[in-house]
Amino acid sequence: MNPAIETRELTRRFGKFVALDQLDLSVPRGAIFGLLGPNAAGKSTAIRLLAGILRADSGEADILGLNLNTQAEQIKRRIGYVAQHFALYPDLTVDENISFYGGLYGINDAQRRHKLLDLYDLAQFSKRRAGHLSGGYQRRLAIAAATMHDPELIFLDEPTAGIDPVTRKELWDLFYALSAGGKTLFVTTHYMEEAERCHRLAFLNRGKLVAQGSPGDIRNSLTGIQVYLARIAHNPDLNRDLMQTAGVQMVNQFGDDLRIIARNSVSREQLQQVTDRYSEQPRDVVPVETSIEDAFMSITSEPAASQ
Amino acid sequence: MIFALIRKEFIQLLRDPRLVAFIVVMPIILTTLFGFALKLEPDNVRMAYVNKDPSMFSNLIETNIWNEGYFQLYPVDEVADIQNEIRLGRARAGLYIPATFSADLVENNQPTVQLFIDGSMPSLATAMDNNSSAITDEAVTADMYFSDPDEPAAIIAQDPFYLDIDVLFNPDKIETWFFLPGVVGILIMQVALILTSTTIVREREGNTLEQLLVSPMTRSQFIIGKIIPYVVISLIDFYAILGFSWLVFDLPAPNSHAVLLLLAVTYLAALISMGLAISTISQTQQQAIFISIFVLIPSILLSGFIFPIEAMPSYIRPVAYIIPFTYFIDIIRGILLKQNLLVELLPQFLALLAFACLFTSFSILRFRKTLA
């Protein structure tokens, strides 16, 4: 079977700004595909292009085996899209929102509606106005409304932004359930721990694709890089000193943990020497496994460092 | 603290170039327009006349009216034609000089000259009434006194002839009847424009537009689907306001309820499609409301609703004919006050229909299924 999404050199400019630069992406069917990138990397542009509400300046894309440039309207019947800002009508009830969005696709199926309300734990609120729901439930509703027509491919633009970890986990359970049901999910996020949850990932930086693969692939792809950990409290002078050491790419503080991303040209001893200058008792600098966040930081910091 | 807020508000206001345009340009355009348009000096008021007595005396009356420049005369055959011309709105006034005019004049029998005035526009009727003095002017009457030098001085009547003024349609010149049908139209226009001009912008501001765009719904479906509910709601509103006017102000009933309904539907279709067109070109709800007001004010002042179109300078008059409300006014006065038939109002109906088609097509073409 052809992939859910396949793009070739998809490009979109806004004036002089190249929001998306020759994107080549492949999303297998049934996968949860995560598109990661810092703010303004082109994630929303990419998802809007693929959902057919923004036109590409050049390049091609096949969505579910249909050509995006010529068969956009046919594609629309088979995809779902949950916008970044949760496009719900706050003055309509939960029930009315779902009915409306179903109606846009010609779906008027009370059974399906009840099934979705149960599935997304919304049945108890069916008569409540969408504007009076909590953030987490608004998102459930947005997803329920966008999947009323049972799309094969669902785009979710930052579905968990600003959501507490418990609700986030619950939303991910829903995504896994959809994926298990054979649906393909295309999710943008900038939460690293969410990246680990995806089957496949792509990193976007300044409109360009910088890495693509499974989370494991991406972690292992960082050849020539070693990540070190030191238990040391935040110290701006230490950070500056480390960054000035040739070959150190990034220092990242997590409470009392300092993660140092460095090229292989930098030795552990070199780093140890620098940190020793700033602590009364010696703190061991130890090599650790690369996390997705390390990979993300390393990849996205590279062009900046080379400038 | 308060300065921070003041500063922020100024920055936001000035960042919206369209809003700045509305704040500055709109008042300038409207002032210019009204400055030129709003002078109540009607001229070229069309007057149908029948002269059954082609004599020097009747010519004298005609010539004097011409010279006055207020009425623009054109001949018709019979008295009945005069009334019909006024009913159809082709003439605002009429003049009838009977066949026996000069004969009676010579005999000092004080003949009667009949002046007809369209009462459906009371302000114009009053003005015409005042201007009719040209007919009985001294320049006219001076040569109309006849006395036989051989006879003993007769008691000469003060005026050689009578001017009988007949106000047609709304004979009491009731201002309420003149204004109320228009007021109904204005109120409906306000409701319809403000409601619909914000409807697409609101979807945009609420981010729901994006969700609509990903659906397979077509542009036409979207626009038509937006028009119909507002037509229905405004229609109910229209009849509510009109019903209230009938009850409280004793407004005359229409000669045909079917024509009234047709008027309501075509007028609302024109207004609501116009509102949608506004919505497709606005970026914020604020802009949409500004444009609506920009449309609303000239509609009130330049449509013949308050000031007769005849009273406007000729170069402003074309503006009146690109306002849908102008045609609404014509039609509703026609069916409530002048007993006009549908076929007589056909041009006005076609104009309203044309507006509806124009604005609907514009909205469909203008509405994109993709984001900017």
Between CA B85 and CA B47 the distance in angstroms is 9
For CA atoms A102, A105, A110, A114, give the dihedral sign: negative
User: Stretch B78-88: mean pLDDT, rounded?
Assistant: 86
Encode pLDDT of B12-42 as tens digits: 777 777 777 777 777 777 777 766 666 655 6
pLDDT at B278: 93
**Could you tell me if B95 and B117 are in contact, meaning their C-beta atoms sit under 8 angstroms apart?**
no
pLDDT at B150: 57
C-alpha distance from residue B209 to each of A55, A187, B197, B223, B280 (Å): 16, 20, 15, 13, 12
Nearest CA among A295, A270, A296 for reference residue A285? A270
Q: How many CB atoms lie within 10 A of CB A271?
A: 23
Encode pLDDT of A123-139 as tens digits: 999 999 999 998 889 99
**A252-265 burial, b for 16+ CB within 10 Å, e for fewer?**
eeeeeebbbbbeee
Q: What is the CA radius of gyration of chain A?
A: 22
pLDDT at A50: 93
ipTM, interface predicted TM-score of the complex: 0.79
Q: What is the CATH number of domain A225-289?
A: 3.30.70.100
Beta strands B45-51 and B93-97, pairing class:
parallel
Same fold, A5-219 and A225-289: no
Looking at the complex, does the CB of residue B212 fall below 8 Å from at least one CB of chain A? yes
Listed in order, strand segments (DSSP E) in A86-176 are 153-157
Q: Is A201 exposed, middle or buried (0-12, 13-18, 19+ CB in 10 A)?
A: buried
- For B209, residues 6+ apart whose C-beta sits below 8 A from its C-beta are A87, B200, B203
Q: How many CB atoms lie within 10 A of CB B151?
A: 7
Between CA B203 and CA A112 the distance in angstroms is 26
Between CA B247 and CA B242 the distance in angstroms is 9
**Could you tell me if B268 and B354 are in contact, meaning their C-beta atoms sit under 8 angstroms apart?**
no
Tokens representing B238 are 């229209």
- For B294, residues 6+ apart whose C-beta sits below 8 A from its C-beta are B22, B26, B29, B30
Chain B contacts of A86, Cβ < 8 Å? 207
Looking at the complex, does the CB of residue A100 fall below 8 Å from at least one CB of chain B? no
Give the closest-approach CA distance of A90 to chain B in angstroms.
9
Looking at the complex, does the CB of residue A137 fall below 8 Å from at least one CB of chain B? no
Question: In whole angstroms, what separates CA B41 from the centre of its chain?
Answer: 16
Between CA A218 and CA A212 the distance in angstroms is 7
Looking at the complex, does the CB of residue B211 fall below 8 Å from at least one CB of chain A? yes
Q: What is the CATH number of domain A5-219?
A: 3.40.50.300
Confidence of residue B115 (pLDDT cuts 50, 70, 90): confident
Looking at the complex, does the CB of residue B371 fall below 8 Å from at least one CB of chain A? yes
DSSP element (H, E) containing B5: helix B2-15
pLDDT at A307: 34
Contacting A residues, span 170-189, partner chain B, CB-CB under 8 Å? none
Confidence of residue A305 (pLDDT cuts 50, 70, 90): very low
Dump the DSSP string for B316-369. Answer: THHHHTT-HHHHHHHHHHHHHTS---GGGGHHHHHHHHHHHHHHHHHHHHH--S
C-alpha distance from residue A178 to each of A31, A144, B93 (Å): 10, 11, 78
Beta bridge partners of A257: A231, A254
Tokens representing B127 are 């003005």
pLDDT at A112: 92
For chain A, give every domain's residue range. Answer: 5-219, 225-289
Between CA A138 and CA B347 the distance in angstroms is 53
CB contact under 8 A, B207 and A83: yes
CB contact under 8 A, A53 and B206: no
List the helix and strand counts (H, then E) for chain B.
Answer: 16, 5
Least confident of A223-227, B19-23, B217-221: B19-23
Encode pLDDT of A48-106 as tens digits: 999 988 889 999 999 999 999 899 888 999 999 998 877 888 889 999 999 999 988 98
